[in-house]
A and B are shown apart, each in its own frame.
Chain A
Amino acid sequence: MATQTTAVVDRTVHAPRGRVFDVVKEWLTTVDHKKIGLMYIGYALIFLLIAGVEALMMRIQLAVPNNHFVSPQTFNQLFTMHGTTMVFFAGMPILFGFGNYLVPLMIGARDMAFPRLNAFSFWISAFGGFLLYYSYFGGSGMYGAGSAPDVGWFAYAPLTARVFSPGHSTDYWTLSILVSGVGSIGTALNIVATILCMRCPGMKMNRLPLLAWLYLVTSGLVFVTISPLTAAQIMLMLDRYLGAHFFDTQAGGSAVLWMHFFWIFGHPEVYILVLPAFGFASEIIPVFSRKAIFGYPAMVAATVGIGFISLTVWAHHMFTVGLGAPGNAFFTFSTMVISVPTGIKVFNWLATLWGGKIHFEVPMLFSLGFLFQFVVAGLTGIMLSVSPFDWQLGSSYFVVAHFHYVLVGAIVFMIFAAFYYWYPKMTGRMLDKKLGQWHFWLFLIGFHVTFDLMHIPGLLGMPRRIYTYEADRGWAGLNMAVSIGGAIQGIATLIFVYNLVHSYFKGKEAGADPWDAWTLEWSTASPPPAYNFAETPTVESRRPLWDLKHPNDPDSKYEG
């Protein structure tokens, strides 16, 4: 039987304020996984807003043909910085932040396995982000271009060679990714060690919350994929400064080699980002359906399956490179196959909803949005896996729409869901429900106006990464609508930010378990005290709090 620890006094709600200097010192020097998690999240939110503004500037430029809102150089910097920031300095840190905060709590541990490594990983990743943006002051780009990196987020060779990108902007890009990669590896190592070694008594691997399983697989992918990325960045530095010729086509190097290095990182990276989102969904959907997750073993198997298969699909980003028919056929097949375990997940969520009592609280609204949108993202993914179809769709706005359906429609929606779900745990106060509903519906409308319509210009021949387009191509009206949808999403995000701040001071007090949930983080106070649990919990099933609440009908009777 799970042991509920005695509630500790809610600290944010009632504790006296510390002096500013003490508070700053406490956060700068902390090795507490919760504080580090929150710093990851806060830092990622700042970059999310910056990269969001970059996106809106691009949308203003593209709203009408032959626009002069920004110069081509600025536009090229915007899409480079938007992509790089969103992937490396918003997406990964926000997910690592939630992982850092939640994994020890959910497995009944007092902290991460290596608290100091944890702090180091955060600060080195944060340094990477600052380095990237320092390029606006310290770098310079292609001839005639400004200062920030402008080679695109996948920085294809040989555009990154010194003849095409003199100055230092490309170096800032390289170094910021290299440095933040060190942090990612450190955090991944920490998460793996924590999950494998720090579980509380009774928490066998087959009782691990699905969120922890997904973080385990994500962290494994980080090990495998950050390494080639780091290697490629070092090779690029060698090319640029020590006269190596890995990617220097003018000296016999290979542009295609860079693509392989980048995408063996880049595609699994999508799964690194989406698996934690799956983890959130696998926790939130059952609680608001009031049912246990359907097919836990299948969910775990599908996760591990996705992890392995995701390492075999990278060259579907290269169908137009001229790999030859056998290569294209192989990567078509591997990419189609990954839809099978992904489909299993969707069907299991569906089956979890089936027969439940669905409560449409704000976290659930975002989770359901995720479910609907992820289905479409998966289906357009199947279209793109058909390599001849990809010869038309690849590098067009169809692809941009597809991956934003994954990154925004699935991942950002689940991140919002996670905020509404775990904010009460983190702060002791609920996020405002009315504002949350406004946020959800506005963001949903903005999302669909933008990204549903964005598929069509791609079908009509509009390539990505162009700073302007011809008026006679039939793309203008669609692009205007896409831009308007972007503005709606921007407004919705501002409501969310306001809600975060407002509710921190004025929100309803949450108590330990506001959602009547079942995993261990809800057994301790909100926010949890240092070292989380006054007494190490013991569990006998996947849902220790369910057992506690239903002593006559505990899960342990049914789990195999």
Chain B
Amino acid sequence: MVMTIVASMRLFPASIVDFLAAQSPTSIFSPSATPAHSIFDLSMLVLSITGGIFLVVYGLLIFVLIRYRHKPSSPQADHEPPQIYGSMQIELSWTVIPILIVVVLFLATARVIFSTESIPKPAKRIDVTVIGHQYWWEYRYPKLGVVTANELHIPVSSASDPLPTYLTMSSADTDHSFWVPRLAGKLDVIPNKVNVMWVDPQTTGLYLGQCAQYCGTQHAKMLLRVYVDTPDQFAAWVAQQKKPAADDTSVAAGKAVFEHNSCISCHTVSGTVATGRFGPDLTHLASRDTIASGAVKNTPENIRAFIDDPAAFKPGALMPAMHLNQHDLDLVTAYLTSLK
């Protein structure tokens, strides 16, 4: 019943919504997964109701200001207008009508709340553990044996063969918030608390977002990138990520620099002595499009510059400037770019 109302209440001009949907890769008016879709539908109902109230109240206000303005030329200009002190019937009418509107709106809202937050997990799903860090994202796929950072890969889901992804989220340090507007509303990522969000993206492609809870100095560049793959692409990606790190002998000198500096205290490269967990897993760093949590493109120049001084891209990032000499910088950059 409520959904019929929702459907019939799309009074809010569709052209405005379409225009806003096209303005940004992160527009909430361009939903592409069930949670974002149901919010979108609900928001159209809400915008219609509030838009209606807006028109009525503004119409009355403007009418009153024109009709009842003081006219110095009128013969009664010097007289006070009739004094009216109130009316119980009128008070009741503008109490009861808003209450009815509130009830309708609440019922429509409650339906979406429960359908998003309280439905049982299907057996067929992808599980990802999301861990927020100052200022990057750690993604672990416990059933698939994959660990990665900053670029989340998930499979597309279809109506005939639904395959939702469940994101189980917590934080390693301060509060963060996971917000990819085209997939779902945001959900906070809080230390000592586990939150679960699900998404079932219906079209493949790259979905952008960013941390939406102030988490420290570099909150602004804690960006989110979600790659929605076809089932085949996803399977290939998982297979690639499960491989141990490339061990290219031509960059052995760079590997030695990496392993003999403090890089290994914070970063992991599987199959090496680097097992740190404070920073992003670098096992397949070269397979990613970006570094520094989406702040810059993944190019050898950017990797080199980031190692030299992370604050150049991300002031406040917790990785210290490594103070390597130019020779070592070149070597370690070569090693990291080999980690396909």
Q: Which residues of A does B touch, CB under 8 Å?
A: 71-73, 76, 142-145, 150, 152, 156-159, 164, 249-250, 252-256, 289-292, 294-298, 320-322, 324-325, 328-329, 332-333, 336-337, 339-340, 343-344, 346-348, 350-351, 353-360, 368, 371-372, 375-376, 379-380, 382-383, 386-396, 456, 459-470, 472-475, 550, 555, 558-559
Contacts and interface: CB of A to CB of B under 8 A. Distances in A.
Contacts of B215: 159
A389 B86 CA distance: 37
Interface in B284-307: none
Contacts of A290: 70, 80-81
B110 A332 contact: yes
Given A294-B85, A460-B27, A350 B61 contact: yes
Contacts of B42: 386, 388-389
Interface in B39-82: 39, 42-43, 46-47, 49-50, 53-54, 57-58, 60-61, 64-65, 68-71, 77, 80-82
A292 B83 contact: yes
B81 A328 contact: no
A253 B91 CA distance: 48
B60 A295 contact: no
Contacts of B191: 158, 249-250, 255
27 contacts: A76-B214, A142-B216, A144-B217, A156-B175, A159-B214, A320-B188, A322-B196, A325-B113, A329-B114, A339-B102, A340-B102, A343-B94, A351-B90, A354-B68, A358-B64, A382-B105, A383-B46, A388-B109, A393-B28, A395-B177, A461-B28, A463-B179, A463-B210, A465-B214, A466-B220, A467-B220, A475-B24
A289 B95 CA distance: 24
Given A337-B102, A353-B65, A387-B109, A468 B220 contact: yes
Q: Give me the 9 closest cross-chain CB pairs, A-B, nearest first.
A: A391-B185, A461-B26, A474-B24, A466-B220, A249-B191, A460-B24, A295-B86, A322-B195, A325-B117
Contacts of B94: 343-344, 347
A145 B134 CA distance: 15
Contact of B116 (A296, A339, A388): A388
Nearest to A346: B57
A76 B209 CA distance: 21
B68 A322 contact: no
Given A290-B81, A392-B39, A150 B217 contact: yes
Contacts of B71: 357
B217 A73 contact: yes
Given A461-B28, A469-B220, A256 B193 contact: yes
Contact of A72 (B87, B91, B217): B217
B110 A164 contact: no
A297 to B, nearest CB: 7
B181 A73 contact: no
B5 interface: no
A356 B68 contact: yes
A139 B308 CA distance: 30
A465 B211 CA distance: 10
Interface in B107-145: 109-110, 112-114, 116-118, 134
A469 B216 CA distance: 16
Interface of B: 20, 23-29, 36, 38-39, 42-43, 46-47, 49-50, 53-54, 57-58, 60-61, 64-65, 68-71, 77, 80-87, 90-91, 94-95, 98-99, 102, 105-106, 109-110, 112-114, 116-118, 134, 173-175, 177, 179, 181, 184-188, 190-193, 195-196, 208-221, 223, 311, 315-316, 318
Contacts of A555: 83
A320 B81 contact: no
Given A164-B216, A343-B94, A358-B68, A320 B110 contact: no
A398 B311 CA distance: 30
A355 B27 contact: no
Given A144-B315, A159-B214, A460-B24, A388 B39 contact: yes
Contacts of B36: 392
A546 B49 CA distance: 41
Nearest to B57: A375
Contact of A73 (B98, B106, B110, B315): B315
Contact of B85 (A292, A332, A460): A292
A90 to B, nearest CB: 22
A559 B83 CA distance: 11
A473 B25 CA distance: 6
Contacts of A336: 102, 105-106
Nearest to B28: A392
Nearest to B175: A156
B68 A459 contact: no
Contacts of A353: 61, 64-65, 68
A386 B6 CA distance: 14
Contacts of B221: 468
B85 A296 contact: yes
Contact of B113 (A250, A328, A348, A474): A328
Given A256-B193, A329-B109, A474-B24, 9 more contacts: A164-B173, A297-B86, A344-B91, A350-B61, A353-B68, A391-B187, A461-B27, A461-B179, A558-B83
